[in-house]
């Protein structure tokens, strides 16, 4: 078991389902790194929803939304990634990172 797998197991076993949105984000990012894309999308999506509901910090909302887009692109789901940019990331459309992600999605990269 790799260090990332061990950390993911600890996070999964040690925290309840109504987790902090940032913990969900880190869980999703670990799953992405391990190639567990479906699980990553579920956790990153839940994190985006909770951050939005809690009026989360701007940078957390942007970074989590971009991580979700990155995972969707890795799965070949360009249209779903585009919908994240047009939905949860829309208020941050002027941020350079978001502009670059929209360009990647549009150009199919």
Proportion of the chain above pLDDT 70, given as a percent: 85
> CA 20, 23, 29, 32 torsion: positive or negative?
negative
Q: What is the dihedral of CA 82, 86, 92, 98, to 10 degrees?
A: 10
pLDDT in tens, 47-63: 999 999 999 999 999 99
Distance from C-alpha of 18 to C-alpha of 16, rounded to nearest angstrom: 6
* Reported pTM: 0.87
Q: Residue 16: is its pLDDT beyond 70?
A: no
Region 19-24: mean pLDDT is: 86
Q: Residue 29: is its pLDDT beyond 90?
A: yes
Region 4-18: mean pLDDT is: 67
CATH number attached to the domain at 3-107: 1.25.40.10
Task: Band the pLDDT of 17: cuts 50, 70, 90.
Answer: low
Region 4-9: mean pLDDT is: 70
């Amino acid at each position: 078991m790799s260090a990332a797998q061990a950390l993911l197991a600890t996070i999964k076993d040690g925290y309840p389902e109504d987790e902090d949105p940032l913990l969900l984000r880190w869980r999703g990012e670990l799953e992405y790194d391990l190639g567990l894309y479906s699980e990553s999308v579920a956790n990153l999506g839940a994190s985006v929803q909770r951050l939005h509901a809690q009026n989360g910090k701007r940078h957390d909302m942007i970074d989590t939304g971009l991580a979700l887009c990155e995972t969707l692109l890795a799965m070949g789901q360009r249209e779903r990634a585009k919908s994240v940019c047009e939905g949860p990331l829309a208020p941050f459309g002027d941020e350079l990172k978001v502009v670059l992600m929209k360009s990647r999605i549009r150009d199919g990269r």
